[in-house]
Amino acid sequence: MIPVNDSPGFTFFSATVGPLSAIFLLTLFLLPSLGLSLFISATNNYLTAILIPTIALLFLTSHLGSPIGFFQRAILPDQYAALIIECLIWGTFLFINLYLIQLSSSSLRAFLPKSLSPPTADEASESPPLFANLNTNTLIALPITALIGTTMTYLTIQSTDTAQSICSLILAFAIASFIARLVFPTANPAILLFAPLLTAISAYTFIWLSPAQYPSSDTILKLIYTDQYPPIAYPLPIFYASAGTLGIIIGISISNGLENITYQQATT
């Protein structure tokens, strides 16, 4: 799946094997973690279930190199359109994973030992089913999470370095989802998992639709090297799909933990 000129910065459309083969190979790579996530989903803990493939994807992201390779080989800003499509592909991956978790959790529960049997829906700390409760708060919480994540990403990302991009996205979306859960406690937290990809699509669309400001690859590279390029457009889709999603999981988990502590204190 290495890009055509052996430079770092993986995207589906720059893979040597072609986009369809790259998607197929990536699916094969993630299959073991996806299978484990479905088994874990039987405990009603969808966050842990999603965490498994997210960690596997993050491991792959950390080994595919800095996004700078993409900027050096791509025809910009036109190829940002391909990145937008790639974000939609990652969103489809996430939706399918969540949907399979919802479908398989009840059937797999029969194979669990009684000691691992999940609590009833009233006692569960998570909130199955995953695609229920699409209320107004949920529809507002998603763009708010993306907006906070965008702001935090803009403030924290300082370069195209792989580790710096990964750590910044984790921190940014952990803060974003934590705040969103505090402000909108009744919102469906599963939907917030799509916030990083929403941020990525917004960033790429802005660059793509601003040819006067970002007319060519040379101009964009010059802006990057002089720290005048929007940092939210540095990370490639795989970064948002892995590190961004991990940040959302962390933020929701912290929020759920505080909520449980508050509830226990109120009932004792």
In a domain, 4, yes or no: no
In a domain, 181, yes or no: yes
d(CA 24, CA 11): 13
Which pTM does this prediction carry?
0.89
In a domain, 260, yes or no: yes
In a domain, 50, yes or no: yes
In a domain, 1, yes or no: no
Calculate helix-pair angle for 46-63, 245-266, nearest 10 degrees.
150
Number of domains within the chain: 1
In a domain, 104, yes or no: yes
- Write out the residue range of the structural domain in which residue 141 sits: 12-266
- Tens of pLDDT along the chain (268 residues)? 555 445 578 899 888 888 999 999 999 999 999 888 888 877 767 888 899 999 999 999 999 889 999 999 899 999 999 999 999 999 999 999 998 888 877 666 666 665 555 554 444 444 445 666 678 888 899 999 999 999 999 999 989 999 999 999 999 999 999 999 999 988 888 899 999 999 999 999 999 999 999 999 999 999 999 999 999 999 999 999 999 999 999 999 999 888 778 767 777 6
In a domain, 5, yes or no: no
In a domain, 69, yes or no: yes
